[in-house]
Chain A
């Protein structure tokens, strides 16, 4: 089990100054663009030792910190 704080810490590393709440919209508001999402994917893959595929790159998986946490936990269980 991972915590939302771990995801928020990674988000702050990927984009300095970014400090969203767990449910704050990240994609539609432009807080994260496609390039930053890819940096995030690299960090998540390494940090949690998971394999994120192009099919996982859906807005619904990255639109909030909570959704990112859910993605990480799903991929870890696969």
Chain B
């Protein structure tokens, strides 16, 4: 069930709100769970069994980790001091084994279901190149349909288990609590990656109460998300699809416009989806994590990724990048580099290795294919180059630190980041590396603005106005202006005029009908 359908926001969301409203306060989380499971079942049918299995594993492992902590807390003080340390070390090993088994099971499901076709391709190609084997056969791999949201709920489950094992949050005592946390319908399809420790206090609370402000703010946010998706993203999709599906036909100018429109499409669609899902949760008074923070105001690639899909970046930073660098083998690698190459290498090479692994994971998380790996490593290369060049730049341009505080240098940095991100978008959207390289080559050498695809002037005008409106809202948010809070202080007629105007905008300028091909949410496939 897509979030932009009438079935969702007209029927499902309405029924869920009514059900939640009439239920006694302490039963409201259970109503949310029932509707979450219904949403999953309506969207994925029998594949719900994969999800339930993952939730049961997560709950059982979390509970076991918690019990082991309780065991230490209860038994250790009763032991003589010399035995206490050994006892704690024994339980710590047990905890690591339980955590490892749980993570392996969850990751195993994800890898098997999502990556086995890609791994088979890599393995077959590798074996065929080994002369000793000379093997040219194939490996049978069943073609699974990916369970809805598997990449999202698996990472959230892993984060929860690591947090419980670190003692950052207590384990969920009841299975329904883990089921609701992982399946909550607003975040199961495209995220955001919510942490259990942040979400549980409101999502699982037995004192959820309806308020007019939550209802109004949630509805406003859903409407804004629908505008981005239906008016801007789906309209841009027609042009983007034409250019990327048949790129050989088009000039550099058409490809350039196609790439810019794809950036606009992806931003409007993904951030629009986040507005719909955050608005959906806000109606019930559940604050989900923000996933976007005006990404096109970023002045560097690192900053861009802290503003774009930021909950994925935060998850990878906390549960992959940092633990990887602090792991014993990488620490040993750092010492080796320090001894052989000097202190700077001992400091920077482990971090560079951690960045490479993290960016590769970001790429492969988006999809099982070489092009996604290259997509991730492209950003890795940019970040590493930026870091390596910094000392040279400071030496060559002593005025640089002062320039960085000026508006013109900041504008240059924002423009540079935008350009580099667009190259990444081209890589991401192109159907394979060969196509991406062809498009990039022709973008550079065969620029011919007169050979543009036939463009519908009305479509482009709506797109330009839509993009301008999104930009205006982003500028206001960047300056710390809360538009919704501002609107809430206005007189009733003005507020309702704004709501009705918003609905009309979506209805009148939405990309519907035979001429358009409303795209499925891009991130829903991950």
Known: A43-B343, A54-B323. Is A16-B350 also a contact (CB below 8 A)? no
Known: A38-B351, A46-B334. Is A16-B390 also a contact (CB below 8 A)? yes
A17-50 residues at the B interface, CB under 8 angstroms: 17, 30, 33-35, 38-39, 41-43, 45-46
B374-416 residues at the A interface, CB under 8 angstroms: 383, 387, 390-391, 394, 400-401
User: In the complex, A54 Cα to B35 Cα: how many Å?
Assistant: 37
Does A42 lie within 8 Å of B166, measured CB to CB? no
Q: How far is the CB of B19 from chain A (nearest CB, A)?
A: 40
Does A35 lie within 8 Å of B387, measured CB to CB? yes
Q: How many residues of A contact B (CB 8 A)?
A: 21
Does A41 lie within 8 Å of B325, measured CB to CB? yes
Judge whether A13 is part of the interface by a CB distance below 8 angstroms: yes
Does A54 lie within 8 Å of B302, measured CB to CB? no
Does A38 lie within 8 Å of B334, measured CB to CB? no
Judge whether A52 is part of the interface by a CB distance below 8 angstroms: yes
Judge whether A1 is part of the interface by a CB distance below 8 angstroms: no
Q: How far is the CB of A45 from chain B (nearest CB, A)?
A: 7
Judge whether A14 is part of the interface by a CB distance below 8 angstroms: yes
User: In the complex, A33 Cα to B343 Cα: how many Å?
Assistant: 20
Report the tally of A-B residue pairs with Cβ distances under 8 A: 58
Known: A16-B391, A43-B347, A46-B346. Is A54-B334 also a contact (CB below 8 A)? no
**Of B168, B302, B317, B401, which is within 8 A of A17 by CB?**
B401
Q: How far is the CB of B150 from chain A (nearest CB, A)?
A: 26
Q: How far is the CB of A21 from chain B (nearest CB, A)?
A: 16
Does A38 lie within 8 Å of B322, measured CB to CB? yes
Contact flags (1/0) for B206-223 with A, using CB distance below 8 Å?
000000000000000000
Known: A16-B391, A45-B331, A46-B338. Is A39-B401 also a contact (CB below 8 A)? no
Does A39 lie within 8 Å of B351, measured CB to CB? yes
User: In the complex, A57 Cα to B326 Cα: how many Å?
Assistant: 11
User: In the complex, A13 Cα to B343 Cα: how many Å?
Assistant: 10
Judge whether B281 is part of the interface by a CB distance below 8 angstroms: no
| Residues on B facing A (Cβ under 8 Å) | 166, 168, 302-303, 306, 317-318, 321-323, 325-326, 331, 334-335, 338, 343-344, 346-348, 350-351, 354-355, 383, 387, 390-391, 394, 400-401
* Other contacts beyond A35-B302, A35-B355: 6, CB < 8 A: A33-B306, A35-B351, A42-B334, A53-B326, A54-B322, A55-B166
Give the 8 A-B residue pairs with the shortest CB-CB distance, closest first. Answer: A42-B347, A16-B391, A38-B351, A39-B347, A43-B347, A39-B351, A38-B325, A54-B322
29 contacting pairs across A/B (C-beta < 8 A): A13-B343, A13-B344, A13-B347, A14-B347, A16-B390, A16-B391, A16-B394, A17-B400, A30-B303, A33-B302, A34-B321, A35-B383, A38-B321, A38-B322, A38-B354, A39-B348, A39-B351, A41-B326, A42-B346, A42-B347, A42-B351, A45-B331, A46-B343, A46-B346, A46-B347, A52-B326, A54-B322, A55-B168, A57-B322
